[in-house]
Amino acid sequence: MKKSLAMLLTIAMLMNLAITVGFTVSAVGEQIVYNFDTAGTSLAATEYWRNFSSSVTGLATSDGFLNGTAKTATPSILQYTGQDICNADNYNVIKVGFKYTNAVNIATVKPQLDFYRSAVGTTPADTATDPSRRVFASALTATDSPNNIVEVTFNMKDCSLWAGQIRYLIFSPFEAVAASSTFSIDYIKILNVGSYNVSYNANAGTDDVVNMPADVTGKLGGTVVTIDTTVLSRANYAFKGWSLTQNGTTPVTSVTLNDANVTVYAIWELLPPLATEWNFAGTDKSNWTTDVTGTTADGIFAIDASATSSTSFVSPSSLGIDASKYKIVKIGLLHKNTAYASTDAPKIMYKTSSSTWDVANSVTADKKFGSVTSSDFREYTFDFSSSANWKGLISQIKLPIDASGKYYVDYVRIFSAASDDTNRKISFDIGTDPMILTNAPYTISAPTGTSIDLPGNSGFYYTGHIFKGWAISPNSTVSDILPNNYIIPGTDTTLYPVWQLKTVLGVSATIAPTNGSVDVYPKDLAIRFKF
């Protein structure tokens, strides 16, 4: 009888026939479960998991386990009943609980799962194993085995070919291990588990943002997703990371998808007012000079000081920078000089029209030189606030180079303030009334005394009202409205919208109590009724 059944299965596999062999897997909600509760060596006992490609010997069930011994380096078992196993569109995860009883090389124990699809339309059925239809679980660790049951998870949606009707499954508990290793499978579950996404929100209104990362999609509940570290670019702002809230200031480095999608929002710091900057576009040196070979290309000023141990990168003369307003210099710099140690840091010297270069008139950067092996530019910040002679009009600055090597300058910028530490935040609270729709304007961060234009209400509205402006207190009236050219105060401030109720003439309404329908004229009037 076993021989005739095996022959029938073989014929069915070749002819792709759908037959019923008398075994039905248990369905628990959105699950297909193989528990191996019946002891024996028959296909019914092994729940139609069988030796694949002569890679396993001794396949049998006992004490709730499906046991086998590896005959080849990659032992595999095949699930096939003569019918399709499942519709891939309805199942996205396969979990296997198993243990192995030989002390094989842990680092190579990497369970894998292959699948074959049935024919669909003019697309033929899969007839051979293919690495493109293979999904791996994470490698086991030293604490997992031997003799301990471990659960491995296969996220089938990681494979784009997981679709349509699945005809066969091939499970390989080991990859490239010694023959005679044994395994015991406690269960195999085919599940429909929720999958979730991480969305990146530029949080920049209508501003253009460069380098936005792609959203992360189709991750299983409980998955920890590492947040993308690509630095975004937005005019007049510095990117500070990603937050879980729209107005958040605390960056996160990872999120856990606990049965819900997650959106992270870009954190922006409004750059302080800029006095001047040099970006060395194209081949433009912007009147910066050096007494060694200096060239510009692709926005980079390259300085070849290989043959000298003393030179400088010097700004144009007669800058006319007001030292009382502008105290910060930022330079994007890459150096290739082994003479600079990790304890060294770049310096900037300065002079006025009535002074000469003096090492006393210099400031050290906020960080040390980076590794000479790095190919990344670093931004160095020089704060002249505490430099005694930084006053009057600054006519010229320079970057001394005290060791031979090659240097590359991306930009030089002069600002009024170093960072958000000296800024004040202006946030906007539009309230929680359900008739106020969409989102509040983004928080503005700028130095005290700065004049800013207050936002309009293009991103939100209050049904039945007209937006008139902003005030410093909730429930303010039109007489309290702030001017549009608002001056940033000395403290963080929350502003509130001022609304004026619309006045509409000639309103008629007919209410039919039987069905609750309401006709309102004019049609653009919004009225709330309470029954």
Which domain-ending residue is among 371, 387, 418?
418
The verdict on 50 and 33 lying in the same domain is: yes
Q: Render pLDDT for 377-391 as a digit per residue (tens, 0 to 9).
A: 888 999 998 899 999
Q: Is residue 514 domain-resident?
A: no
What is the strand order of the sheet 465-471 is part of? Answer: 444-447, 423-428, 493-501, 465-471
Which structure tokens are listed for 63? 């004490």
Strand-pair partners of 149: none
The predicted pLDDT at position 236 comes to: 73
The full DSSP string for 197-217 is EEEEE---TTS--BSPPPPEE
Which domain-ending residue is among 418, 443, 466?
418
Closest CA to 192 of 27, 302, 435: 27
Look up the pTM and report it.
Answer: 0.43
Amino acid (1-letter code) at residue 145: S
Three-state DSSP state, 8 = helix
Q: Render pLDDT for 82-124 as a digit per residue (tens, 0 to 9).
A: 899 999 988 888 999 988 766 455 556 678 999 999 998 888 9
The verdict on 27 and 118 lying in the same domain is: yes
**306 CB neighbour count, 10 Å cutoff:** 12
First to last CA, the chain: 75
- As separate numbers, helices (DSSP H) first and strands (DSSP E) second, the chain gives 1, 40
Q: Is residue 518 domain-resident?
A: no
Amino acid (1-letter code) at residue 375: S
State how far the Cα of 169 lies from the Cα of 56, in Å rounded to an integer: 16
Number of folded domains that form the chain: 4
The verdict on 373 and 408 lying in the same domain is: yes
Going by C-beta distance under 8 Å and a sequence separation of 6 or more, which residues neighbour residue 459? Answer: 205, 438, 439, 440, 441
The single-letter DSSP state of residue 102 is S
- CA-based radius of gyration for the chain: 35
The verdict on 28 and 150 lying in the same domain is: yes
Q: Can you tell me which residue has the tokens 């109720």?
A: 501
Closest CA to 198 of 250, 245, 263, 260: 263
Going by C-beta distance under 8 Å and a sequence separation of 6 or more, which residues neighbour residue 261? Answer: 196, 197, 198, 199
The predicted pLDDT at position 490 comes to: 65
Going by C-beta distance under 8 Å and a sequence separation of 6 or more, which residues neighbour residue 327? Answer: 383, 384, 385, 390, 415, 416, 417, 418
- CA torsion angle for 408, 413, 417, 421 (degrees, to 10)? -40
Which domain-ending residue is among 418, 441, 459?
418
Residue 86's domain spans which residues?
A: 2-191
Amino acid (1-letter code) at residue 286: S
The verdict on 54 and 144 lying in the same domain is: yes
Q: How far is CA 329 from CA 55, 235, 336, 370, 397, in A?
A: 68, 18, 22, 18, 10
Show the low-confidence residues of the chain (pLDDT under 70): 1-30, 101-109, 139-147, 175-179, 271-274, 338-343, 372, 417-423, 435-440, 448-449, 457-459, 490, 503-531
| CATH assignment at residue 407 | 2.60.120.260
- CA torsion angle for 329, 331, 335, 337 (degrees, to 10)? -10
| CATH assignment at residue 477 | 2.60.40.4270
Q: Is residue 261 domain-resident?
A: yes
The verdict on 378 and 462 lying in the same domain is: no
Sign for the CA dihedral angle at 115, 117, 123, 126 comes to positive
The verdict on 493 and 413 lying in the same domain is: no
Q: Is residue 520 domain-resident?
A: no
The predicted pLDDT at position 60 comes to: 96
Going by C-beta distance under 8 Å and a sequence separation of 6 or more, which residues neighbour residue 91? Answer: 30, 32, 156, 190, 191, 192
Q: Is residue 467 domain-resident?
A: yes
Q: Is residue 513 domain-resident?
A: no
The predicted pLDDT at position 513 comes to: 43
The verdict on 32 and 170 lying in the same domain is: yes
Q: Is residue 234 domain-resident?
A: yes
Going by C-beta distance under 8 Å and a sequence separation of 6 or more, which residues neighbour residue 492? Answer: 424, 425, 426, 427
The predicted pLDDT at position 474 comes to: 83
The verdict on 311 and 428 lying in the same domain is: no
**63 CB neighbour count, 10 Å cutoff:** 10
Q: Is residue 527 domain-resident?
A: no
Q: What angle do CA 505, 506, 507 make, to 5 degrees?
A: 100
Peptide bond into 346 cis (omega under 30): no
The predicted pLDDT at position 385 comes to: 86
The verdict on 161 and 76 lying in the same domain is: yes
The verdict on 69 and 168 lying in the same domain is: yes
Three-state DSSP state, 230 = coil
Strand-pair partners of 97: 151, 187
265 close to 245: Cβ distance less than 8 angstroms: yes
The verdict on 373 and 496 lying in the same domain is: no
State how far the Cα of 49 lies from the Cα of 173, in Å rounded to an integer: 13
